[in-house]
Structure 1
Amino acid sequence: MRQIFLDTETTGLSPESGDRVIEIGCVEMVNRRLTGHNLHLYLNPERKNSEDAVRIHGLTDEFLADKPVFAAVAAEFMAYIAGADVVIHNAAFDVGFLNAELRRVGAPPFAQQVASVTDSLLMAREMFPGKANSLDALCKRLEVDNSNRALHGALLDAGLLAEVYIRLTRGQKTLVIDAGEESSGGPQLEVAAIDFSAFTLPVLDASPEEQAAHEAVLKDLDKSSGGKTLWRNLVA
């Protein structure tokens, strides 16, 4: 499975108001392994940055002045993302901006060019309801090193997102492995079935001292709950 972890930086918050994409960072993963085949683009937005945006990403108008416009790299970008499963943190924001850029060059919307779009922010909210789920918060919670993130950067953030995603999805839902699954290669270990009926398990009775200690704990619990302990009601 080919996955692309994507992030953008922009001149502001609203593509409807004319804000533009100024940086695109994409990190590729195939079968949950980073390939190093990444895409990183700086773009001339053909307009000024907002001061608030510059404080976040540090990309000044002067730095971006000699960078290509989106139309010049659109074909490269679309070829790179084609057919991939794309993971984006707060996908609605980035996809909204990318759709605006694609519309300007007469290209199909983003979602029509990829296999799927997964919003890792929605995933995190389901896993950690009521908690902060920004990329920084997830890095801290999942022990992903983001010490180099003094400013937002699309490629840096896409790389951090890839690491966060691996940790979000690494849990195994069952201890039973389907025997019908394809082997990942290498020698297979065959384990002989064990007949547990051949074993006699010893039964150890509690000593009088242990029974007395247990009863004392139960009395304390009964007292602290005001006589509402279920085992007393069942015995009665």
Structure 2
Amino acid sequence: MRQIILDTETTGLSAQNGDRLIEFAGVEMIDRRLTGNNLHLFVDPERDIPEEAIAIHGITPEKLKKENAQVFAAVAQQITEYISGAELVIHNASFDVGFLDMEFTRLGMPIVDQITSKVTDTLQMARERYPGQKNSLDALCTRLEVDRSKRVLHGALIDCELLAEVYLAMTRSQFSLVDELVTPNGNSQKQELANYQRLNHEALAVIAPTLTELAEHEAYLAALDKVVSGQCLWRSWEHKGKDLPV
């Protein structure tokens, strides 16, 4: 399962009224594991950047020049290949997808829905899970105890990294412990869990009970037998020779 945690920064709020994309970031996750295969690009918007936008993300024309930002036409194919076939995970997806679709359409290229497998909106997920509460990325980081101390301004890459942690936290209950234990050594998930349990159990010291403790245990079981007017559950497990529950 290949997912791209995606975020953009723009010159303003309206893709339909002349605002343009100025930063793109994607963080790749496969089977709920970050791979390090990230894509981060600054984009020359071919227009001015309003001061109110700069106050939010801190991206100035001077910064774009320093980062050697290229126009979208020069990076469009790179972005398309990066997100192709993946599920996109975006906070307030309609905003970012709207800008990407606008940029792709200007070049006569396929839009997001035509090149990706699915778009998941974490803002919609959060609204369903936490109705009536604030569900901004900052609010979710606080609620889910995700460290955002490095986030001073909005930035596409740092926001992707934070959103990846938020998404994993919000969806963790949907997956078993086995799903979390994916390692690059070639073992299956169940084999990894078995190895983990074996190694940790072997390290435990085994302390045999004393005769006094055994006698007290037997007296306790006898009292349980009287309460249930028969054989207590513990004795039935001992009788079958199974590992006793803890």
TM-score range, shorter chain: 0.7 to 0.9
What's 1:17 paired with? 17
Pick from 93, 118, 123 the counterpart of residue 121 of structure 1.
123
Aligned with residue 97 of structure 2, among 95, 98, 102: 95
Q: 1:139 aligns with which of 134, 138, 141?
A: 141
CA shift for structure 1 position 200? 4.6
Deviation at 1:63, TM superposition (A): 1.8
**Separation in structure 2 between the aligned mates of residue 20 and residue 40 of structure 1, nearest angstrom:** 17
Q: Does the alignment pair 1:186 with 2:191?
A: yes
Measured against aligned partners, the alpha-carbon deviations of 1:38-72 in whole angstroms (never above 9, x if no partner) come to 00000000000111110000000222244100000
Amino acid at match of 1:61: P
CA deviation profile, 1:13-54 (whole Å, cap 9, x unmatched) = 001111000000100000000000000000000000111110
State the partner residue of 2:157: 155
**Which of the pair has the greater relative contact order for Cα pairs under 8 Å at 6+ separation?**
1
Q: Can you give the 5+ residue segments of structure 2 that lack an aligned partner in the other structure?
A: 180-187, 195-223, 229-246
- Say if 1:186 and 1:43 are closer, same or farther in 2 by CA, change over 3 A: same
Partner in structure 1 of residue 240 of structure 2: none
Distance in 1, matches of 2:54 and 2:110, equals: 30
Residues 4 and 201 of structure 1, relative CA distance in 2, 3 Å threshold: farther
- The letter for the 2-side match of 1:43 is V
Per-residue CA deviations over 1:74-102 (Å, capped at 9, x if unaligned) read 11110000000110000000000000000
Mark the CA change 1:18 to 1:201 in structure 2 (over 3 Å): closer, same or farther.
Answer: farther
CA distance in 2, matches of 1:188, 1:64: 47
CA distance in 2, matches of 1:55, 1:174: 42
Normalised by the size of structure 1, how large is the TM-score? 0.75
Pair 1:186–1:63, CA change in 2 (3 A): same
* Structure-2 residue corresponding to 1:227: none
Which one of 194, 202, 216 corresponds to residue 227 of structure 2?
202
Q: Percent of pairs identical after alignment?
A: 58
Aligned to 1:60: 60
Label 1:67 to 1:185 Cα distance change in 2 as closer, same or farther (>3 A): same
Where does residue 168 of structure 1 map in the other structure? 170
Report SS of the residue matched to 1:43. Answer: strand
Corresponding residue SS for 1:170: helix
Consecutive unaligned residues of structure 1, counting only runs of 5 or more, are 178-182, 190-198, 204-236
Between structures 1 and 2, the one with greater helix share:
2
Please give the per-residue CA displacement for 1:91-133, whole angstroms capped at 9, x wherever unaligned: 0000000000001111111111100000000000000000000
In structure 2, what is the Cα distance between the partners aligned to 1:123 and 1:142? 14
Secondary structure (helix, strand or coil) at the match of 1:79 reads: helix
CA shift at 1:184, angstroms?
A: 2.0
